[in-house]
């Protein structure tokens, strides 16, 4: 199947699908292609850019999905998951009670805002942490 951008003799523009370029030519010659606006059968193909994709192109959503998976892998490999104890652990590290190390976990929005207000740097992750059990 192929989609053509078409134009009639009254300058109306429309699109239609055909089995092939030859099928389009035969249908036009037989007067079987007509304008969707005025019904004219004097129809020709408009200039159009073909939609071409190559197998080595990765779509933007796929690139985002890949980047997110890579970020998750790096965070999980290089940080300690502290779960719902994130707020306490972050505050203890900031106050010098616990040794500093990279951590990730879960916090309510208001708790995270309070950490920021107190000068404790935190940021949301663009994914939900996988639950880890001991």
Q: What's the pTM? A: 0.54
In a domain, 72, yes or no: yes
Among candidate residues 99, 105, 101, 98, the one with its CA nearest the CA of residue 123: 105
- Please check the confidence at residue 121 and state whether its pLDDT lies above 90: yes
Q: Are residues 39 and 67 in the same domain?
A: no
At 98-117, the pLDDT tens digits run 999 999 999 999 999 999 99
Q: Are residues 40 and 65 in the same domain?
A: no
Predicted pLDDT of residue 134 = 46
Q: Please give the average per-residue pLDDT across 66-84, as a whole number.
A: 92
Q: Please give the average per-residue pLDDT across 65-77, as a whole number.
A: 90
Q: Are residues 66 and 101 in the same domain?
A: yes
Residue range(s) defining the domain that contains residue 107: 60-117
What is the average pLDDT value for the chain, to the nearest integer? 87
Total number of domains constituting the chain: 2
Among candidate residues 32, 42, 31, the one with its CA nearest the CA of residue 7: 42
Of 52 and 61, more confident: 61
Q: Please give the average per-residue pLDDT across 60-88, as a whole number.
A: 90
Q: Are residues 64 and 40 in the same domain?
A: no
Q: Are residues 107 and 69 in the same domain?
A: yes
Write the DSSP assignment of 1-23 as a string of letters.
-EEEEEEETT--EEEEEES-HHH
35-43: list long-range contacts, CB under 8 Å, 24+ apart. Answer: 35/6, 35/8, 35/10, 36/12, 37/8, 37/10, 37/12, 38/8, 38/10, 38/12, 40/8, 40/9, 40/10, 40/12, 42/8, 42/9, 43/6, 43/7, 43/8, 43/9
At 33-54, the pLDDT tens digits run 998 888 899 999 987 666 665 6
């Amino acid at each position: 199947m192929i989609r053509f951008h078409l134009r009639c003799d009254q300058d109306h523009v429309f699109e239609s699908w055909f089995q092939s370029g030859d099928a389009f030519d035969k249908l036009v010659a037989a007067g079987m292609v007509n304008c969707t606006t005025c019904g004219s059968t004097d129809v020709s193909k408009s200039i159009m850019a073909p939609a071409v994709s190559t197998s080595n192109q990765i779509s933007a959503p796929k690139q985002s999905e890949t980047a997110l998976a890579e970020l998750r892998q790096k965070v999980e490999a290089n940080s300690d998951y502290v779960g719902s104890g994130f707020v306490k652990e972050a505050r203890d590290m900031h106050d010098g009670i616990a040794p500093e190390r990279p951590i990730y976990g879960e916090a309510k929005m208001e708790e995270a805002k309070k950490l920021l207000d107190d000068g404790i740097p935190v940021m949301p992750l663009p994914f939900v942490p996988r639950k880890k059990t001991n």
